[in-house]
């Protein structure tokens, strides 16, 4: 979380495993310091964007694709922390999930990256990273 003194700004390390509702507010954390209350000659105008956790939309889409691929019941709890292996995805399922994500988001996932995705959150984070590269 951000903490600041009059002359310096510091952020303590931010953990990346946010629940969905926290992620959205974090995404919008743009801090500007050229406003009232801060002597503008001391502090430069700074904008910070904490881009750590993927958007809830992305996570939800991943959940949807995973549930479909593994034929999980609608009421089954799947969230960012869910591990593919624990949900019962074998290697063929995982490859199909990656393919589904590529189609949904219009991205291409390298084998090295695909191998490192073990949870829904990791998949969502990778998607966002690839989408950012595209722009």
Partner 1 sequence: MKLHCFQRAFFHSSPSLIPVQLPAPMETHLWYMKPSEVKSESLLKEYLDILSPCERKNVLQMGGEELRKSALLARALVRTTIARYQINSEITPRSLKFRKNIHGKPEVEWQYSDDWHPPSLHFNISHTSSLVACGVTVNSQIGIDVEEKHRSIKHNVLSFARRYFSEHEVQFLAAISDPQVQRMEFIKLWTLKEAYVKALGKGFSGAPFKTFTIRSKSVPEEGFNKLEGSSLKASEIVVDSFDNPTVLTSNWQFLLLELANSHYAAICTEKHGASEGDRNVPVKLTVWKTIPFLEDECVSGTDAVKTICGL
Q: What residue ranges bind partner 1 (CB under 8 A)?
A: 68-69, 76, 85-88, 90-92, 95-96, 99-100, 102, 110-112, 114-115
Q: Which of 1/92 has CB closer to partner 1?
A: 92
Please provide the DSSP assignment of the chain as one string. -EEE-SS-EEEPPPPS---HHHHHHHHT-EEE-SSTTS-TTTS---EEE---SPPHHHHHHHHHHHHHHTT--TTS---TT-BHHHHT--HHHHHHHHHHHHHHHT----HHHHHH--BHHHHHHHHHHHHHHH-
**Active site includes 90?**
yes
CB of 88 to partner 1, least distance (A): 5
Q: Which of 37/112 has CB closer to partner 1?
A: 112
The one catalytic residue in 57, 75, 90, 125 is 90
CB of 95 to partner 1, least distance (A): 6
Q: Which of 14/110 has CB closer to partner 1?
A: 110
CB of 76 to partner 1, least distance (A): 8
Active-site positions read 90
């Amino acid at each position: 979380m951000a903490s600041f003194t009059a002359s310096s700004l510091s952020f303590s390390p931010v953990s990346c495993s946010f629940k969905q509702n926290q992620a959205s507010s974090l995404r919008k954390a743009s801090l500007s310091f050229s406003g009232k209350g801060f002597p503008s000659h001391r502090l430069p105008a700074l904008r910070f964007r904490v881009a750590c956790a993927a958007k809830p939309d992305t996570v939800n889409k991943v959940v949807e694709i995973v549930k479909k691929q593994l034929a999980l019941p609608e009421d089954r709890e799947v969230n960012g922390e869910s591990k593919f292996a624990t949900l019962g995805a074998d290697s063929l399922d995982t490859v199909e999930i990656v393919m589904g994500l590529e189609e949904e988001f219009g991205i291409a996932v390298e084998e090295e990256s695909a191998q490192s995705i073990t949870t829904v959150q990791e998949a969502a984070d990778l998607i966002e990273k690839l989408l950012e590269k595209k722009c």
